[in-house]
Structure 1
């Protein structure tokens, strides 16, 4: 078993370095994008177990994208949003009919890797490029949220998007993403020693089994810059 695991890890590392070594081959015309995004946000957790877009808030942010090639990009950005929840919407009966609600303003800093389903460019049609593509992404981030009991912790974002070239150097798109939090007190904004949404049934959640998430749905607009000398063969 150890030998099999070593082979899998070795193949993964080899594949990663092969991808990096060919990173500039058949690349987009411009290396970088910068822009902004705006949309809506919502929370899921003990106070909302299953309903998307319950008590939606506003979200917005700034983003920077480095286009490795036609298929792969690395994106960094900062986002802010409002999220809220009420335990009466949870669909659960809590001990002693307890109820709680919360509202937070959050700020997030993160980085993500994106994979385009189609080679993305409004040029080089002979290479099979298209001026539109759906894409998947995942990464890592950090979240800070306001309240008398502040929240700070890591998150794992993952989602799906669609982008389209309005014209050369200008892109528009839409993203839907979920953020997995590694803490179960995102929905607790007050410092209390009694009942709250951290462990509403008196059972502490583990590091990996917490129930708190938040989500963004945002439309973005970006502008490309820093032209490659020879985008089809690297530089």
Structure 2
């Protein structure tokens, strides 16, 4: 897909990887970006320069009414980037309850599903367009200190593969982005070293530009971990399983 002159929607655009997606899309010459966030006040700094290509969009991906409204407002989208995410970084048993686990599934899995369902007809109308789902290497290897987040990303990876199959008939390109810890507010809770958001975003958009219709391994650090996973998946899982949650 050609990114130049495309119309993008980025969820969780107010910070971290989402904000870097916005910056890089502008650099690559998009015509418009719907910058979506649960609280549009958090977009103030992003919008301060008055770039007319940026359109603020209130969007909680767990709210069906807001998702439906977004699909009507942003009916010209050709590139949908499901970036919004939530991570509690808790163990499955060590967590005090299952509230955060449910929230992770609501945002990371059901939010992605709901938004993609809403925008599938929009992308079809655009001739197919493209979809990026921000995943995680924790979709492949479970980290006990982020147990339920890992589970939500594993579900999202499975969903991404099914979406690719279903949307193939309408010509929609679907890229799932696997990445390790990145220098963001969320990633700061994971150990160093951490990648930069720029590494992740550049690889993701390069994949879209190249016509990739698959998962990609974003960033050199992720590629090193993925190589270890491919070589010895059980060995890597055993190593990750030593990283247990801290009980309070």
TM superposition score category, shorter chain reference? under 0.3
Q: State the TM-score, normalized to the length of structure 2.
A: 0.23
- Greater RCO structure (CA 8 Å; 6+ sep): 1
Which of structures 1 and 2 has the bigger CA Rg? Answer: 1
More strand by share: 1
